[in-house]
Amino acid sequence: MGGLFCDRDVEFVLCVDGRESRLCAKCHDVSLLYLIDHGVAATLVDTRRVANPSAGTTAVPAERTQLKANRSKIILVEDDLGIAQPLCRALVREGYSVSIVGDGPSGLRQAYVQRPDLILLDLGLPGLDGLEVLRRLRAVSDVPVIVLTARTDEVDVIVGLTAGADDYVCKPFRLAELMARIERAVQRYRSTRRWTKHVYDDGLLRLDSLQREACVAGVPVSLTTTEFRLLDLLVRHPGMVQPLDKILARVWDDTVGNGSSARVKFAVSRLRRKLDLTAMGSAPIVSARGLGYFFRPPAVPAAVDKKSPQPASYGHADNVLNILNARDRTS
Ligand code: CA
């Protein structure tokens, strides 16, 4: 007995920034939602169960199946069991460890609890819309997200991708295609983490995150801490639009949304002015019309380490811009 706030049985140990609390399931869920709502980084939160397996999720015992040496953890957020269950079985056959979650708030909560390698996210979800789940998740996590959508409208695709999805598939999808996309996203995520551990180098721009040094064509560029963090964030996600609230959270540690987009715009314009004085110019810092910004690296990167794959595709951001530009031309 004796959760911190009640007399129900202790089921979880919740650890926030090194401090542990023993909580019942209800207090645990409420506490986690509170932490998520207040933008507390997932890296500061750890939680483990002290009693029985969770009732809210369906953990699939992967041991029953012939496994590949894979074990990447996937959370499948999908309320339609007719889709979720067969997909889950297929993923387990491929060696993934899978949890099915049937609503938005649980999806967000499990993303914190389980620290998955990938999230498959349906957009039409009870409790919290998939796009809102994605938006909240992106303020604190870079985990790859593939959106499963029945909405083939290009507007939804744009919104999904600018809200931070790494990829999407439209229902009904072919299993083989989805598997390929999952594998690519997981590998890209791993290689990104390895590749950008602390040095980015595309042959023109070199960023050293440990030393806080930026060079263009071998010439040091003097950046303020804010400018460096901003450039570092954009460069780490080439071609992926970084939403304004994520930029505020990462560059200014402003996770409660008090910051204004004007602050971001001002910092971007200062950064661009400095880059204009270099061989790189400011063109690689691309504005996505009030949604955010992204970094467009050289088309054929003079990649330093040929063994490492290019860490991210930048087709999506270009796709978004093409659609926006086409719209501008016709209006
Ligand atoms: Ca749905």
Q: Is the pLDDT of residue 77 over 90?
A: yes
The pLDDT assigned to 311 comes to 36
Tell me: the pLDDT tens digits for 261-294?
888 999 999 999 999 999 889 999 999 877 889 8
99 CB-near residues (< 8 Å, 6+ apart): 57, 58, 59, 60, 73, 74, 75, 76, 110, 114, 116
Distance 122 CA to ligand 1 centre (A): 6
Between 214 and 149, the more confident residue is 214
* Amino acid of residue 182: I
Distance 186 CA to ligand 1 centre (A): 23
Tokens 């002015």 found at: 273
Distance 287 CA to ligand 1 centre (A): 32
The fold adopted by the segment(s) 199-326 is Arc Repressor Mutant, subunit A (1.10.10)
Q: How far apart are alpha carbons 96 and 272 in whole angstroms?
A: 43
CA distances from 206 to 19, 26, 242 (A): 38, 48, 20
CATH of segment(s) 73-190: 3.40.50.2300
Q: Is the pLDDT of residue 84 over 70?
A: yes
Tell me: the pLDDT tens digits for 174-213?
888 888 889 888 887 776 554 446 788 777 888 988 889 9
Region 292-308 average pLDDT? 58
The pLDDT assigned to 125 comes to 93
Q: Is the pLDDT of residue 52 over 70?
A: no
Distance 70 CA to ligand 1 centre (A): 28
The pLDDT assigned to 45 comes to 67
- Whether 173 contacts 214, CB under 8 Å: no
- Whether 110 contacts 75, CB under 8 Å: yes
263 CB-near residues (< 8 Å, 6+ apart): 248, 252
DSSP string covering 29-56: HHHHHHHHHTT--GGGEEEEESSSPPSS
Between 66 and 23, the more confident residue is 23
Distance 292 CA to ligand 1 centre (A): 28
- Confidence label for 250 from pLDDT (cuts 50, 70 and 90): confident
Backbone φ/ψ region at 46: left (φ over 0), alpha (ψ -120 to 50), beta: beta
The pLDDT assigned to 312 comes to 36
Q: Is the pLDDT of residue 306 over 60?
A: no
The pLDDT assigned to 299 comes to 55
Distance 150 CA to ligand 1 centre (A): 8
Distance 56 CA to ligand 1 centre (A): 17
Distance 103 CA to ligand 1 centre (A): 9
Q: What is the pTM of this model?
A: 0.48
Tell me: the pLDDT tens digits for 92-126?
988 899 999 999 999 998 888 888 889 999 988 99
Judging by DSSP bridges, how do beta strands 73-77 and 97-101 pair with one another? parallel
Q: How far apart are alpha carbons 89 and 103 in whole angstroms?
A: 19
The pLDDT assigned to 331 comes to 56
Which of these ranges, 80-89, 243-252, 255-264, 315-324, has the smallest mean pLDDT?
Answer: 315-324
- Confidence label for 127 from pLDDT (cuts 50, 70 and 90): very high
Which helix H or strand E contains 81, and what residues bound it? helix 81-93
Candidates 175, 169, 176, 70; CA nearest to 117 is: 70
User: What residue ranges do the domains of the chain occupy?
Assistant: 12-61, 73-190, 199-326
- Confidence label for 328 from pLDDT (cuts 50, 70 and 90): low
Topology match between the domains 73-190 and 199-326:
no
Distance 79 CA to ligand 1 centre (A): 5
Distance 81 CA to ligand 1 centre (A): 9
- Tell me what the pLDDT averaged over the chain comes to: 76
Which helix H or strand E contains 102, and what residues bound it? none
Distance 84 CA to ligand 1 centre (A): 10
